[in-house]
């Protein structure tokens, strides 16, 4: 029976026959003995395989090169070498898949992250991407675990939609019409009644609106799925395709929404610290010596809560010169967000009550008529990690706001039914999953925390 490297490294049972399969990271040695480092992805570390020259003449190991796939049978023994407690004394080495050492792009010497992005299909074979992908998995699991334990239901919202949930017009079109000669109506415009769905459709920018529908039936729900934005995502914080986690809770107001966001984020970071210690220690060592300290800090300290208006006052009084000037009513840039988090408060910040003009149509209007019950959670090194709000539950106020913002009410008539029939206060937020992975792994570019990133001029795989 095959064992994983993870199981073998943790094993107390020595001097037994084992079988392991994986990919060779390195082979080195001398004329008496060869050491083969094998990794199978189950854990950061390799297992060392010792092959005696008496049993394995050089000729027999010539195909055991970096990148090849091997099956090793042998005895698990205590290791004399430093850096590991156990190793395998090889009895049989079988090459399952050769790898031409001249052609294999991942040779032993470190390859830059930029270069690895160009060979993203092979990145999972590196220590760095193995670590990132394991942490990514752990966080996804922790998200489901958190919600399940707290009585939330996971709802699946559509990927193809007929409406723009954010009203920001940043959607990718989905169509089966022939691009060269699409059918036209009498006035010459494209006739979407001939299209697959009989209307214009897009890839979703958010599952929120469908999330609201289900929250006003099931109470506490969340979505966790891919979302798409055709915005200029040529930054280290944006992807054209990213995963979003969107809880929505009936009867919650802004305050409870903030409590949920804070507890949720702290629980996720804590889970990663507890379950990904090896991978995080490696990333801390390799890329960002302050990573572990920062993660513990977020878990141990309450987030700073303040209004947008208060934040603008702080920014205007700041000694630091900003590239973009701040004035009440302007949207905050990431330089402003990071100043508040990293320089002023030195902890995560939740900003609330933004001017209505810079936020989405569905946010609940404050009494002053100028601001809405929005909240953005800002994290060190990241800026906005969560965006959310209490929703406008009043039919008349909501439709008035939609008209003011030119959001088509006919397209969203189904959504308005929530306000027509048994409406209730409710609130929710969206966590950008890759921004969370970025924060927890300490990587500096969001393109390095998703296996197959999508960004302008890049959909290679």
Give dist(CA 312, CA 77) in Å, integer.
63
At 385 the three-state DSSP class reads strand
CB of 121 to Mg ion, least distance (A): 31
CB of 205 to Mg ion, least distance (A): 11
The token pair that represents 160 in the structure block: 């193809």
Tell me which of Mg ion, ligand 4AD, none is bound by residue 243, counting a contact when its beta carbon lies within the kind-specific cut-off of 5 to 8 angstroms.
none
Axis-axis angle for helices 277-286, 127-149 (nearest 10): 130
Binding of residue 147 to ligand 4AD (CB under 6 A): no
Tell me which of Mg ion, ligand 4AD, none is bound by residue 249, counting a contact when its beta carbon lies within the kind-specific cut-off of 5 to 8 angstroms.
none
Buried b (16+ CB within 10 A) or exposed e, 101-118: eeeeebeeeebebeebbe
Q: Which of 74, 381, 383, 387 binds Mg ion (CB under 5 A)?
A: 387
Nearer to Mg ion, 22 or 207 (CB): 207
Nearer to ligand 4AD, 140 or 177 (CB): 140
Phi, psi of 225 (to 5 degrees): -155, 175
Give dist(CA 434, CA 445) in Å, integer.
10
Tell me which of Mg ion, ligand 4AD, none is bound by residue 356, counting a contact when its beta carbon lies within the kind-specific cut-off of 5 to 8 angstroms.
none
Give dist(CA 123, CA 139) in Å, integer.
20
Q: In angstroms, what is the C-alpha Rg of the chain?
A: 27
CB of 289 to ligand 4AD, least distance (A): 25
**E runs forming strands in 153-205:** 153-154, 160-161, 173-174, 201-203
Lay out the site mask for ligand 4AD across 235-264 (x = CB under 6 A, - = otherwise).
Answer: ---xx--x-x-x------------------
From the list 61-69, 269-277, 381-389, 404-412, the region that binds ligand 4AD by CB under 6 A is 381-389
Nearer to Mg ion, 20 or 350 (CB): 350
Lay out the site mask for ligand 4AD across 274-313 (x = CB under 6 A, - = otherwise).
Answer: ----------------------------------------
Give dist(CA 161, CA 207) in Å, integer.
10
Nearer to Mg ion, 195 or 212 (CB): 212
Tell me which of ligand 4AD, Mg ion, none is bound by residue 246, counting a contact when its beta carbon lies within the kind-specific cut-off of 5 to 8 angstroms.
ligand 4AD
Nearer to ligand 4AD, 87 or 376 (CB): 376
Judged by CB under 6 A, the chain residues 405 through 444 that form the site for ligand 4AD are 428-430, 432, 434-435
From the list 23-31, 108-116, 120-128, 383-391, the region that binds ligand 4AD by CB under 6 A is 383-391
Tell me which of ligand 4AD, Mg ion, none is bound by residue 242, counting a contact when its beta carbon lies within the kind-specific cut-off of 5 to 8 angstroms.
ligand 4AD
Give dist(CA 137, CA 372) in Å, integer.
35
Give dist(CA 313, CA 310) in Å, integer.
5
Q: Are 173 and 180 a contacting pair, CB within 8 Å?
A: no
Nearer to Mg ion, 129 or 264 (CB): 264
Q: Taking the C-alpha atoms of 163, 164, 169 and 174 in order, what is their torsion angle to the nearest 10 degrees?
A: -50
Distance of CA 367 to the CA centre of its chain: 36
Q: Which of 63, 255, 278, 384 binds ligand 4AD (CB under 6 A)?
A: 384
Axis-axis angle for helices 127-149, 254-275 (nearest 10): 130
Q: Is the dihedral of CA 88, 89, 95, 99 positive or negative?
A: positive
From the list 26-34, 381-389, 392-400, 438-446, the region that binds Mg ion by CB under 5 A is 381-389
Q: Which residues pair with 249 in a beta bridge?
A: 220, 427
Nearer to Mg ion, 161 or 389 (CB): 389
Lay out the site mask for ligand 4AD across 183-222 (x = CB under 6 A, - = otherwise).
Answer: -----------------------x-x--------------
Tell me which of Mg ion, ligand 4AD, none is bound by residue 434, counting a contact when its beta carbon lies within the kind-specific cut-off of 5 to 8 angstroms.
ligand 4AD
Q: Are 429 and 234 a contacting pair, CB within 8 Å?
A: no
**E runs forming strands in 62-214:** 69-78, 86-97, 153-154, 160-161, 173-174, 201-203
Residues in the interface with ligand 4AD (CB under 6 A) total 24
CB of 237 to ligand 4AD, least distance (A): 7
At 127 the three-state DSSP class reads helix
At 249 the three-state DSSP class reads strand
Tell me which of Mg ion, ligand 4AD, none is bound by residue 401, counting a contact when its beta carbon lies within the kind-specific cut-off of 5 to 8 angstroms.
none
Instruction: Go through the chain and tell me how many residues it has.
Output: 461
CB of 318 to Mg ion, least distance (A): 22
Give dist(CA 378, CA 237) in Å, integer.
13
Give dist(CA 152, CA 144) in Å, integer.
9
Q: How many CB atoms neighbour CB 265 within 10 A?
A: 21
Tell me which of ligand 4AD, Mg ion, none is bound by residue 428, counting a contact when its beta carbon lies within the kind-specific cut-off of 5 to 8 angstroms.
ligand 4AD
Nearer to Mg ion, 358 or 460 (CB): 358
- Which residues in this chain contact Mg ion in the complex, by CB under 5 A? 387
Binding site for ligand 4AD (CB under 6 A): 165-166, 206, 208, 229, 231, 233, 238-239, 242, 244, 246, 384-389, 428-430, 432, 434-435
């Amino acid at each position: 029976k095959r064992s994983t490297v993870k199981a073998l490294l943790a094993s107390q049972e020595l001097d037994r026959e084992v079988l392991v399969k994986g990919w060779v990271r390195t082979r080195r040695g001398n004329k008496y003995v060869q050491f083969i480092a094998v990794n199978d992805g189950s854990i950061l570390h390799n297992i060392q395989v010792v092959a005696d020259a008496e049993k394995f003449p050089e000729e027999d190991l010539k195909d055991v090169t970096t990148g090849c796939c091997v099956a090793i049978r042998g005895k698990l023994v205590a290791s004399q070498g430093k850096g590991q407690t156990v190793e395998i004394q090889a009895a049989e080495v079988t090459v399952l898949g050769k790898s031409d050492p001249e052609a294999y792009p991942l040779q032993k010497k470190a390859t830059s992250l930029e270069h690895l992005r160009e060979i993203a299909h092979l990145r999972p074979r590196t220590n760095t991407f193995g670590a990132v992908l394991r942490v990514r998995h752990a966080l996804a699991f922790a998200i489901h675990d958190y919600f399940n334990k707290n009585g939330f239901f996971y709802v699946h919202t559509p990927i193809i939609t007929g409406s723009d949930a954010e009203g920001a017009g940043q959607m990718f079109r989905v169509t089966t019409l022939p691009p060269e000669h699409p059918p036209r109506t009498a006035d010459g415009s494209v006739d979407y009644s001939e299209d697959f769905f009989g209307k214009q459709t897009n890839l979703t920018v958010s599952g929120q609106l469908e999330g609201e529908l289900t929250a006003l039936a099931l109470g506490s729900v969340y979505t966790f799925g891919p979302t798409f934005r055709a915005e200029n995502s040529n930054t280290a914080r944006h992807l054209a395709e990213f995963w979003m986690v969107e809880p929505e809770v009936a009867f919650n107001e802004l305050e409870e929404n903030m409590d949920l966001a804070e507890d949720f984020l702290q629980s996720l970071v804590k889970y990663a610290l507890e379950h990904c210690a090896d991978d995080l220690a490696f990333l801390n060592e390799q890329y960002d010596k302050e990573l572990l300290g920062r993660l513990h800090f977020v878990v141990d300290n309450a987030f700073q809560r303040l209004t947008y208006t208060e934040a603008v006052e702080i920014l205007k009084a700041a000694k630091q010169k900003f590239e973009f000037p701040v004035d009440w009513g302007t949207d905050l840039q990431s330089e402003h967000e990071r100043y508040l988090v990293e320089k002023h408060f030195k902890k995560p910040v939740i900003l609330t009550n933004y001017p209505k003009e810079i936020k989405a149509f569905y946010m609940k209007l404050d009494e002053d008529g100028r601001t809405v019950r929005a909240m953005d959670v800002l994290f060190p090194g990241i800026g906005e990690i969560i965006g959310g709000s209490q929703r406008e539950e009043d039919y008349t106020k909501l439709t008035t706001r939609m008209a003011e913002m030119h959001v088509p009410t006919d397209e969203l008539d189904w959504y308005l039914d929530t306000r027509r029939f048994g409406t209730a206060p409710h609130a929710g937020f969206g966590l950008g999953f890759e921004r969370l992975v970025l924060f927890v792994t300490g990587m500096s570019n969001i393109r390095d925390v998703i296996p197959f990133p999508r960004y302008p001029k890049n959909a290679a795989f």
